[in-house]
Amino acid sequence: MKTNSKTKTEITFEDFKTEVLNDYKIAVTSRECSVLGRREVLTGKAKFGIFGGGKEVPQIAWAKSFEDGDFRSGYYRDQTFMMAIGELTIEQFFAGLYANTDLKEEPMSAGRQMGGHFATHSLDDQGQWKNLTEQKNSSADISPTAGQMPRLLGLAQASKIYRQVDGIDTTKFSKKGNEIAWGTIGNASTSEGLFFETINAAGVLQVPMVVSIWDDEYGISVHAKHQTTKENISEILKGFQRDENADGYEIFRVNGWNYPELIDTYQRAAQLSRKEHVPVMIHVQQLTQPQGHSTSGSHERYKDAERLAWEVEYDCNAQMRQWMVINNIATDEELTQLEKSIKKEVRDGKKAAWAAYINPIKAEQKEVVALLQNAANTSSNGVFITKLKNDLIAIDEPLRKDVLAAARKALRYLISEDSAEKTQLQQWINSYIEDVQPKYSSHLYSESNSKAINQTKVLPTYSDDAIDVDGRIILRDNFDAIFSNYPEALIFGEDAGHIGDVNQGLEGLQEKFGELRVSDTGIREATILGQGIGMAMRGLRPIAEIQYLDYLLYALQIMSDDLATVQYRTKGRQKAPLIVRTRGHRLEGIWHSGSQMGGILNLLRGIHVLVPRDMTKAAGFYNTLLESDEPALIVECLNGYRLKEKMPNNIGEFKTPIGVVETLKEGDDITLVSYGSTLRLVEQAAKELLEVGIDAEIIDVQSLLPFDLNHDIVKSIAKTNRVMVIDEDVKGGASAYILDQLINIQNAYGHLDSQPKTLAAQPHRPAYGSDGDYFSKPSVEDVFEAVYSVMHEFNPTDFPKLR
């Protein structure tokens, strides 16, 4: 069931009637799914519902102009569109509502997202690209309002790159850049900064992006008069309208209940954007939301009687029905019969989806009931196990947690017993968790053969006469090799283009590779990330540069909610292998101190976080990541660009392994763990500690996410029996994360003769100047004294109190 996306210039009236009736059937089917879906939530079968009622007809008109290769980046009202392009069935709609974990039953997210969040599969079951030009594509939705907008920009920009940059293999990704990126957003969400940032950036870049603004005058319960100046988003954005003197947008307004005008508007928008790469805004007005915002409330609470009556009259489905009758496309009786048959079809689809969801769990329930009965028959605590069994039987519609909890609780009554029945129960629980847990936890990172940790280490090699150069030269020459070897690679950011970035790591590369591949952007970090996400989703290999680590805060929401969850929320059926480049550590001052690592580590699970100590290591990370299919953040040392390093003779080829630590100095007394610029201070302190008889081992973490996959640090601790983590982040940040890894993952506590210690920064931001750094972050003296204190506690005779 999908709409005809190839509108014919010549069509018979009978063909026209058939097409219109099919469109109406999709609209009514979608509405009936919404109505029945709400009922499923209110009766408890589903947890929450947010539906697309009131937006059906404009989404059908949009679907007619959506072609193979196009991409959608929308929000949680677009169910009718997904049905119209043939990517959402009735059964799949309800499978999403029930959170079915079977990707075949619920292909949008395998139950990981609530209903209303849609995606198509860009990857096959091996994690390899499908041919995106032969299918209609939807990038996976996220809930945060306007969060879909930055990604939309990148999806559109990919078409521009594919059209204008030579040498890229476009086979699976583009047909001469003719693809449109279509975005949708509710009128209230246009108040978000991400919307305005994206609109401005797309106007500057002139990319094929068409944004539909669904305007039903409310944002949950808040009317547009509290949301938007003049209560009209297209009115206040009309300054973006292009004219003969300047590029900009084409802006259309259309009523959301007018079927023929909607089709005409979307066709004109598509033709313009597809051919000329002009961004377009379509303000779809006079829409309704007949079921309110979601199942958590009722719109009768905030809409007056007049508005509610208007919504009944101007409901888009009702208006389309009326237009069909007036124009002799169908009679009232024919439409009534059609609507009746659709109701039955939706009810049958709902029942099938529920059966597909509940029957496997009921089978698991029966397995556990039998195991509990067997255990009760032989246990001295049989009466208690029997109660657990009977309670489980009494649950007509069990959840997996009900089944597993009963089995695990029963095991407590068998602690002191030894029986075959107990062994069977233990084996079932272990096997069940091993089988079921991945349904909820897999694909946080790539599970393909191309994942980053699979990449083979390649050491930098040096000529006998290798010269010392500024670290930035190694980066620059490595980027030169990258752009020569990977035509699909590109980099962009503030000052990244014309001047070659603020530290000259891209010096001269724009002149060599062109403005589209090495480009400047405006000051707009969130959409810099969005450009990267969208282009990576379409097969390009973007490097998004955020000028300083501190500025990452502007983009952190997009990185956390969108980029970090792409693989997870699609269960491995979409990917965005974006590399985010930034620089930080040890710069002076409140706003350029680069001390957000604790927050980054907590918010960016799903993205590799890499902290190279020098530019050779950083270059190796870029080379590794471009061979992988995962996103990463690389934090270059801001005070390392002018430090001298040996120039490797295999630039572009050496690869720094991810998740592997490196021992910089061996020692016997204590293991010192650190990363980035702080390592230089640790190394100096270690030299000074030798003068008082303390021999420290120094380990460079290199990779925070993932962390020390080979557990090499605990091997060092087993030798020294002491450990200290030194970090420039605040207490409880990255140092606490590292210590948690050592204690709880690597079980280092068994080797410790002294209390494990952390040395971190003061809780405030660093004050300006060198003294501000000295009194705010760990210094050489701080490291020396902290290590000495540990040794004093261990052996006060040889190491008397220092102060």
* Contact assessment for residue 29 and residue 75, using Cβ atoms and an 8 Å cutoff: no
CB atoms near residue 538 (< 10 Å): 30
Catalytically annotated residues: 592
Q: Which of 701, 671, 675 is nearest to 686 (CA)?
A: 671
Alpha-carbon distance values, 496 to 258, 503, 540, 614 (Å)? 47, 9, 18, 20
The residue to which tokens 């209903």 are assigned: 115
Radius of gyration for the alpha carbons in the chain, expressed in angstroms and rounded: 30
CA separation for the pair 445, 656 (Å, rounded): 19
Encoding tokens for residue 338? 């059609």
By three-state DSSP, how is residue 375 classified? helix
Q: Which of 96, 105, 101, 37 is nearest to 401 (CA)?
A: 101
* Contact assessment for residue 556 and residue 111, using Cβ atoms and an 8 Å cutoff: no
* Contact assessment for residue 723 and residue 671, using Cβ atoms and an 8 Å cutoff: yes
What residues contact residue 754 under an 8 Å CB cut-off, 6+ apart?
721, 722, 790, 793, 794
CA separation for the pair 539, 486 (Å, rounded): 12
By three-state DSSP, how is residue 542 classified? strand
What residues contact residue 736 under an 8 Å CB cut-off, 6+ apart?
598, 758
CA triple 300-304-309, angle to 5 deg: 90
CA separation for the pair 273, 153 (Å, rounded): 14
* Contact assessment for residue 151 and residue 119, using Cβ atoms and an 8 Å cutoff: no
For residue 416, give the H/E element and its range.
none
Q: Is 606 left (phi over 0), alpha (psi -120 to 50) or beta?
A: left
CA separation for the pair 447, 438 (Å, rounded): 12
**Backbone angles phi and psi of 772, in degrees to 5:** -60, -40
Encoding tokens for residue 48? 């929450």
Q: Which of 231, 249, 232 is nearest to 240 (CA)?
A: 249
For residue 724, give the H/E element and its range.
strand 723-730
CA separation for the pair 706, 714 (Å, rounded): 16
* Contact assessment for residue 682 and residue 658, using Cβ atoms and an 8 Å cutoff: no
138: Cα within 13 Å, side-chain hemisphere: 27
Encoding tokens for residue 599? 């927050």
What is the rounded (10 degree) CA torsion for 700, 704, 709, 713?
Answer: 40
520: which strand partners? 493
* Contact assessment for residue 152 and residue 198, using Cβ atoms and an 8 Å cutoff: yes
353: which strand partners? none
Residue type, 678: T
For the chain, how long is the longest CA-to-CA vector? Answer: 103
Encoding tokens for residue 464? 């006998």
Secondary structure (DSSP) of 468-518: EEEHHHHHHHHHHHHHHH-TTEEEEETTSSTT-STTSTTTTHHHHH-TTTE
Encoding tokens for residue 774? 């000295």
What residues contact residue 762 under an 8 Å CB cut-off, 6+ apart?
730, 775, 776, 777
Angle between helices 471-485 and 615-625 (to 10 degrees): 20
